[in-house]
Amino acid sequence: MKAAAADQPAGNRRRSRRAGRPLAPVITADSIADAAIGLLDESGDFTMAQLARRLGVGASALYNHVTGKEEVLARVRELVSDRIDTDVFDSVPFFDALLVWARSYRDAFARHPATIAVFATTALDGAGRTTGMYERVVAAFLRAGWPEDDVMTTLVALEDFIMGAALDAVAPADMFQLRSPQDAPTLSRVTAAARRSPSGTRPAQASFEAGIEAMLTGLRVRLARLSA
């Protein structure tokens, strides 16, 4: 009745590894984070059991490499932060760079909705890539002449909008598609008009562009006022 253990070393399809320490580690903290981001991309969430299954180990094996799910999410955040473009600040004018940065920031997180709440509420722990991202953006604010004591306030305001837009990007397209339009005639009229409009872009996308444009317009005014 015993199934033959015919696994190739590289294969992870079938379950067969006897208990005890393997000759070489099967997983690493990095491979765990990679697998997590894969699951996040595919289904928007992950469990420790799914993670372990994908890596071909038991769930408890994960805890030899990470302290728990929270650390996995923190590591995912680092990987996601890495996709945010901060190089633009060296090549184009400040406000133009801010627009590119904001778009890449929103896109990076819109693909991983499960990380948004964690990202927004977990403290930075030092030397990571997320900290590096902030360091470069803050430096750009200062080079643009932004008052030192207003940089964080403004940067976080921008982040608030970006995170809200990332959350919205995963909302159902028909959020405002009412069953009984007569209960909210004005809302129905306006959502219908939006659908007819020749935007081409998806609604969430259009709102992001409208919002970031308004915000940057307002921030130009703010900078002028604070500089005066």
Site for DNA in 53-82 (CB under 7 A): 56-61, 63-65, 68-70
Task: Give the Cα separation of 4 and 16 in Å (integer).
Answer: 9
Q: Applying CB under 7 A, what is the total number of residues that bind DNA?
A: 27
Helices 94-110 and 203-227: angle between axes, nearest 10 degrees? 140
Find the helix or strand (DSSP H, E) in which 7 lies.
Answer: none
Closest separation between CB of residue 115 and DNA, Å?
A: 14
Per-residue buried b or exposed e for 192-209, using 16+ beta carbons within 10 Å of the residue's own CB? eeeeeeeeeeebbbebbe
- 8 A C-beta contact, residue 33 and residue 63: no
Choose the contact partner of 19 out of DNA, a copy of itself, none; CB within 5 to 8 A by kind. DNA
| DSSP one-letter string for 169-202 | HTS-TTTT--S-GGGSHHHHHHHHHHHHS---S-
Kindly state whether residue 50 participates in binding DNA, applying the rule CB under 7 A. yes
Kindly state whether residue 30 participates in binding DNA, applying the rule CB under 7 A. no
Site string for a copy of itself, 84-123 (x = CB under 8 A): -----------------------------x--xx--xxxx
Closest separation between CB of residue 46 and DNA, Å?
A: 7
Type of residue numbered 31: S
- Binder among 41, 90, 125, 145 for a copy of itself (CB under 8 A): 125
Closest separation between CB of residue 149 and a copy of itself, Å?
A: 4
Closest separation between CB of residue 56 and DNA, Å?
A: 7
